[in-house]
Chains A and B, each alone.
Chain A
Amino acid sequence: MSDHMNETKNIMKKKKILPVGHFRGLGAWTFAFFIYLYVPIVVLVFYSFNSNRMVMNWEGFGISWYLKAFSNNNIQQAVLNSLIVATVATACATAIATIGALVLARGGSFKGKTLSLGLITLPLMVPEIVTAVAVLIFFSSIGMNLGLGNVIIAHITFCIPFAFMPIRARLEGMDTTLEQAARDLYATEWETFRFVTVPLLMPGIVAGAMLAFVISLDDFIITLMVGGAGSTTLPVYIYSMIRRGLTPEVNAISTVLLFFSIAIVTAYWIVSKKSQTKTVH
């Protein structure tokens, strides 16, 4: 067997046939791609530890900018606003998306199903700036001015499709035999839903919620347009800091945010990986 394999290897070497999927320079290109992706981010993190007042003049390692950023009242308020908006928006959008996905996947066929699906994914099809100004016109026309409430309602709307997609994908991959078995064993519709469907669907719900949370936390243009003076979120505050000039303080907040995102993305992949392997069994 190994003789045979060696032979094949030799033939391949002689004829210079590359195995399937091998192109020269592919590895180098991928490497260059990663450099392009990561160098700016590494630079950002690196300079956050600079103790000089000017961002780009390296003076020495220090965490003074972190301390300064953490003790800044405006930043604290912006972080608090961001967390309130993202938490409420995620909870509402995920609940709405879960019901929507369940009805669309399990509700049998009813009229207007395609239309409903189109409506739910509409925020993805419209450029963000258009959503932003359209919602601004809407709020000002009806005279709604709830401060952070306006921002939260806008965030719920555009977070729905992001929460919806992983939940729907999970539902489509789920096999219905367990639910049927529960019904055969005289579980009521509610019991089947509560003790069979929901636990099976959980990885999809968690993945959808995490996606919605990150999208809401990162949103800038809709918040800028819709939010009033008192509802500055972290991205809006960071933007105003960058506009005023580069300070290592921005780098420091950025680095904290970066590690927060890495933690979430890692959790997201682990959850979605788990849900994949569970579907197979």
Chain B
Amino acid sequence: MTSSGGLRGYFVRSENARGFSLLAPTLILLVLMMVIPIIMLVARSFWTQSGMIETADFSLVNYQMFFEKKIYLYVLGKSLLISGSVTFATLILAYPAAYFVAFRVKKNKLIWLILITVPFWTSYLLRVFAWKLMLGYNGVVNSGLIGIGIIDEPLGFLLHNVNAVVLTLAHAWAAFAILPIYVSLEKIDKSLLEAAADLGEGPIRSFLRVTLPLSMPGVIAASLLVFIPTVGDYVTPKLVGGSSGIMIGNLVTNMFGRGNNWPMGSAIAVMMMISITLVVCIYLWLISQVKKRSN
């Protein structure tokens, strides 16, 4: 080390310079491809467009329109509500299954984990497509019900509505939610539960007082993992939602496509990000309040 002076010596000595020079290509790429584009998106939302002409002057016109025309707020509210229902449904579905694998399965856990995650690794588009086959007018559910003799005519209300969107999204994301919950349940020291049982706690009480609080980090991670991406989903509402199941992601995409109003589309995207951040903050605050209460 004594002989290495100059630049090389500087790199060996200074962890700052070394760390940054090695990380530089990565950081430059991410700043270039994520940070700058998002800044450009926010900047674009203050532009205006009339007809084919875009004006690059600062203006709040798009945001004014967002709050004045009821459709935008309505679709944003509906998207948040749909994603909230999807998150709730996935937690209700995934928690018991994760619990089962963590506590009841003794042998071949790996096979169970593979079985749970295979649907997640299959193409998302195909899972949505599969639900179109299930719920369609000539779909599996209708043919099944007619076959049994419960109905004579196919039911038209299965597809192209909000329920179909929730059902499909919950199916697509359930496997994603199960992993963090499973990991947090797996970490719980089983002797705590045995201690609770020895001290005369019933299974439900010991679940509410020991297992559930200890698995909360997994539940929170799972709900954020499902909520944040589903708010802006495009494919599911487009393929199974029909006109009543339209979501905010469809409005954004439309503005960048046929609608050809990029500034308005940018403003909708910005409002979507702000509202997701707000909902997540309120959710985390509520959980911290509940924790304080129970302590």
Contact pattern, A 34-61, Cβ under 8 Å of B = 1, otherwise 0: 1011111101100100000011110000
Interchain CB contact under 8 A, A137 and B44: yes
B239 nearest CB neighbor, chain A only: A242
Interchain CB contact under 8 A, A110 and B36: no
CA–CA, A258 to B130, complex, Å? 12
Chain B residues, CB < 8 A from A119:
27, 30-31, 34-35
Q: Let me know if A205 is at the binding interface, CB within 8 A.
A: no
Specify which of B123, B143, B175 is in contact with A218 (CB 8 Å cutoff). B123
Q: Let me know if B138 is at the binding interface, CB within 8 A.
A: yes
Number of chain A residues whose Cβ lies closer than 8 Å to a Cβ of chain B: 88
Interchain CB contact under 8 A, A108 and B26: no
B256 nearest CB neighbor, chain A only: A133
The answer to whether residues A246 and B132 also contact, given A113-B19, A129-B269 and a CB cut-off of 8 A, is: yes
Chain B interface, DSSP helix/strand/loop, else mixed: helix
Q: Which B75-103 residues have C-beta < 8 A from chain A?
A: 93-94, 96-97, 99-103
Interchain CB contact under 8 A, B29 and A41: no
Specify which of A37, A122, A160 is in contact with B175 (CB 8 Å cutoff). A37
Number of chain B residues whose Cβ lies closer than 8 Å to a Cβ of chain A: 86
Chain A interface, DSSP helix/strand/loop, else mixed: helix
Please name 17 further chain A to chain B contacts, defined as beta carbons within 8 Å, in addition to the given A120-B26, A269-B117, sorted by A numbering. A20-B194, A26-B99, A30-B100, A33-B94, A41-B127, A122-B30, A125-B228, A133-B266, A136-B256, A137-B266, A138-B33, A217-B123, A246-B136, A254-B126, A265-B117, A265-B121, A269-B110
Q: Which B residues have a C-beta under 8 Å from some C-beta of A?
A: 15-16, 18-20, 22-23, 25-27, 29-31, 33-38, 40-41, 44, 93-94, 96-97, 99-104, 110, 113-119, 121-127, 129-134, 136, 138-140, 143, 171, 174-175, 190, 193-194, 197, 203, 207, 228-229, 231-235, 239, 249, 252-253, 256, 262, 265-266, 269, 272-273, 276
29 residue pairs bridging A and B, Cβ less than 8 Å apart: A20-B197, A21-B193, A22-B103, A23-B207, A30-B96, A37-B116, A40-B133, A41-B119, A43-B133, A110-B15, A112-B20, A119-B34, A119-B35, A127-B231, A129-B249, A133-B253, A134-B34, A154-B33, A160-B29, A221-B249, A238-B129, A239-B125, A242-B125, A242-B132, A246-B133, A257-B126, A261-B118, A268-B121, A273-B110
